[in-house]
Structure 1
Amino acid sequence: MQITRQRPETQQGAAENFTGTVWLDELAAPPAPSRLRMFNVHFAPGAHTAWHRHPHGQVLHVLQGEGLVQRRGAAVERIRAGDTVWIEPGEWHWHGAGPRTFMTHLAVVEATGDGMTTEWDTHVAAVDRPA
């Protein structure tokens, strides 16, 4: 058993992967053979990810606020504190805060053998986001 009492400093989401203000706290990245990665992600109102996908899928659990999630080709879905979202492996999607609310979620992914967790694509067009 290992208890981590000090974690890496909070990192701001990179502009090439996020729109708006986003902060990430890496909560877990156990040593091999585990490939688990867990992040606490804080989105300011209207902030969201670019389109992306995960080779082994992703679990999002909303801790506070309200947000939005969309898979490519489907309608935007509202998510709220207490909701858990399973995103299938390889499914293109984006997620983030609602237009007038903050949103915080846990994001859990499994890395590939070479450590990759996410493939990033283009930013979400403003026309595709609800106002």
Structure 2
Amino acid sequence: MIRFSAIALTAALASTSVFAQSMEVIKNGTHDGFMGPDDKFTGSAYIEPVFANEDPFVVNGGKVTFLPGARSHWHTHPAGQVLVVTDGAGWVQEEGQEKQLMEPGDVVWCPPGVKHWHGATDTTAVTHIAIQQVENGENVTWMEAVTDEQFGGETP
């Protein structure tokens, strides 16, 4: 679970020029989506960029929809990742642990450097918002594919 300190957030925002700027609404569909490449995903994963790493924020986010059987490859994030599940049902797994079911409203926190994967179940699609902090210009390190055996097919 992630907890944000209102005092820390206010102090961080006050130290930037955020309060001197105007609000901006980025319209849905502004950024072109794309299919997840085969060297990072197995199956059909559609990625829609939501927001980019731009000053003063050091995070980026995207909406990812996995069709049944689709999943990311194993990967890590240098500064961690938050997944907010918005639709469907999927699985998430940390290396060496049992996979876990994730459903709408669930928030998944993956700490920095923890090897994991996430995606649909074998029978259901899932959509989540993925938010990653950028550290030294990087937000993810991709690794090997999740095998069919690792993916399995039984709902936990």
- Band of TM-score, shorter chain: over 0.9
The equivalent of 1:19 in structure 2 is 42
The 5 A counterparts of 1:1-131 are: 1-5=23-27, 7-113=30-136, 115-131=137-153
Residues of 2 paired with 1:90 and 1:73: CA distance? 14
For 1:61 and 1:34, how far apart are their aligned partners in 2?
A: 19
Alpha-carbon distance, 1:2 to partner: 2.0
Higher helix share: 2
2:81, 2:111 within 8 Å by CA — same for their partners in 1? yes
**TM value normalised by structure 2:** 0.80
Report sequence identity in percent.
34
Larger RCO: 1 or 2 (CA < 8 Å, sep 6+): 1
Provide the C-alpha distance between the structure 1 equivalents of 2:150 and 2:64, rounded to a whole number of angstroms: 22
Unpaired runs of 5+ in structure 2?
A: 1-22
SS of the aligned residue for 2:149 comes to helix
Question: TM-score if structure 1 supplies the norm length?
Answer: 0.94
Structure number, greater radius of gyration: 2
Q: RMSD across aligned C-alpha pairs, in angstroms? A: 1.1
Contact 2:76 2:142 in 1 (8 A): yes
Relative to total residues, which structure has the larger strand share, 1 or 2?
1
C-alpha displacement at 1:33, in angstroms? 3.3
Q: Which runs of 5+ in 1 are unaligned?
A: none
